[in-house]
Amino acid sequence: MPTSLAHHYHQALRDQDILNQLRTHYPDGPTLHQLAPLDQLHIGGIAASKRLLGLLDQSAPMVLDIGAGLGGLMRQGAALGFHLTGLDITHRFNVLNQAISQLTMTQPLNNSPAGTLRCVTGDACALPFSDASFDAVLFQHSLMNMPDPARVLAECRRVLRPGGQLVMHEVVSGPHSEALRFPVPWAEGPAHSHLLSLSELTQTLEASGFKIQHCEDWSHTALEWRQRQRQKEQAPLTAVLSPQWVFGERFMQMGKNLLENLANGAINVVEISTRC
């Protein structure tokens, strides 16, 4: 029987070690960039999150982040004035996310006051929120873990207000999907990897009532970013924080496979903005 998705993510998580490391090295509170090696584990890092948040309407501040992980995107959004609710199926991620936020001195990135943060443990197939309660929904490397995307997107449509946004930065199947190598950060093997092709993803979005306004494939940029990260990961471990604090030693193979999957066209990376 395959392990649960939550177990995949928390089995090597060094919760208390991470908090002790943050308190020791950043007694005044870590900045968003200092946290990024830990909480911005998606392809593209903090720059990709900035792009994604830049697609949101600043005047519509209530945002749901589905698959929030350790909260890097949430804290970055709050610094822009958005009010973020993060949903994740991994409860230990949510607990650590909240603890990191309490240590972090989130400084506003514009003239708006910093937004609020809350975390909820739950399944995206049955969102624990009332109808029309959010202005926007975010996905960042999270839909790929969900075996029933149509049901998830129907739930997103339900909790969005009329005219609301659904914005995503996702990994999709590439032209050589048969070459996909495991493990990767989102899955040890096929059981938890549910990649759609870009055409399948856009068709599912449209069938769920979303109108696509922006769709960009930036796999080339993603590959260049991943190549730079791989060089850093192969250097002696002197960094205060790294993905290994989340994934353990297995991240070295995950990172290697991720680079090869991008280079071989097994996966692509896309950025999509829609409205309902």
Asked if 67 and 145 count as a contact pair (C-beta separation under 8 A), the reply is yes
Q: Over the Cα atoms of the chain, what is R_g? A: 18
The tens-digit pLDDT sequence of the chain (276 residues) is: 347 999 999 999 999 999 999 999 999 999 999 999 999 999 999 999 999 999 999 998 999 999 999 999 999 999 999 999 999 999 999 999 999 999 986 556 655 678 999 999 999 999 999 999 999 999 999 999 999 999 999 999 999 999 999 999 999 999 999 999 999 999 999 999 999 999 999 999 999 999 999 999 989 888 898 888 888 777 666 789 999 999 999 999 999 999 999 999 999 999 999 999
| 169 DSSP β-pair partners | 140, 271
Amino acid 1: pLDDT? 37
Distance of CA 249 to the CA centre of its chain: 21
Q: Does domain 5-265 have CATH number 3.40.50.150?
A: yes
User: Which region, left, alpha or beta, applies to residue 168 given φ > 0 means left and ψ of -120 to 50 means alpha?
Assistant: beta
With residue 174 as reference, give the H or E element that holds it. Answer: none
- Residue 68 CB contacts under 8 Å (≥ 6 apart), including other chains: 74, 84, 86, 87, 88, 93, 94, 97, 119
Which residues 6+ apart lie within 8 Å of 106 measured at CB? 32, 75, 78, 79, 114
The answer to whether 186 and 144 are in contact (CB under 8 A) is yes
Query: From CA 86, how far away is CA 210, in angstroms rounded?
Result: 21
In sequence order, what are the residues at sequence separation of 6 or more whose Cβ sits closer than 8 angstroms to the Cβ of residue 256?
230
Question: Distance (Å, rounded) from C-alpha 86 to C-alpha 73?
Answer: 9
Which tokens go with 146?
């969900």
pLDDT at residue number 105? 64
Can you give the residue ranges of every domain in the chain?
Answer: 5-265
